[in-house]
Amino acid sequence: MKRLAVYCGSATPADPSYIAMAQEVGRTLAMRGIGVVYGGGRLGLMGAVADSALAAGGEVIGVIPQALVNAEVAHRGLTELHVVETMHQRKQAFTDLSDGFVTLAGGTGTMDELWEAMSWAQIGYHAKPVGLLNHLGYYDGLIAFVKTMGHVGFLRPQHQDLLIVDETLDGLLAQMESHQPTTTVGQIGAKDL
């Protein structure tokens, strides 16, 4: 993996461990020679990932919609900053520029990015690993929900391990490195859908 898209919030939670975790992610990826592709912001967890990766000598590529540039939240010190018109173009660029996806804590925008990465893997738009760093159990409810989708039958057996989860970055990256692409919806016969 040469580059990873990092999905995370632009907020700064009261608990400082979230910023520390984001800094660790940026620093660790840079030290491993893995470039960061992220939302292009300077605030919150996004800014912490970018700043720590840059400080460690890493490549950081931001992709940000013009509306957020206009709101003055763009990070101006990145290796590259791509300005796009829509959120859809932003997510397409994340997919095009990266070899996988790592989701840190975040809100609705982060969830939108994660779900699209998973959905696109299911239908075969990409064959890249989709990782979730479950810092302090932040995503316990989401992980349980993904299991419920499988149990009820809305997530096919071939896709129930699509989301790679770990509580540590080292463990998550190790699992992502050994990722095997899923059987896509297009490869499943109509009788099995």
CA-CA distances (angstroms) from residue 5 to 51, 72, 136? 15, 22, 21
Mean pLDDT of the chain: 94
Bridge partners (DSSP) listed for residue 37: 5, 61
Residues (pLDDT < 70) of the chain are 186, 188-193
pLDDT tens digits along 86-106: 999 999 999 999 999 999 999
Q: What is the DSSP letter of 79?
A: S
Q: Over pLDDT 70: what percentage of the chain?
A: 96
pTM assigned to the model: 0.93
What was the pLDDT predicted at 100? 98
Count of domains in the chain? 1
Cα 84 from Cα 14, distance rounded (Å): 31
Among the listed residues 40, 74, 36, the one whose alpha carbon sits nearest the alpha carbon of residue 54: 36
CATH of the domain at 84: 3.40.50.450
Query: Range of 82's domain?
Result: 3-192
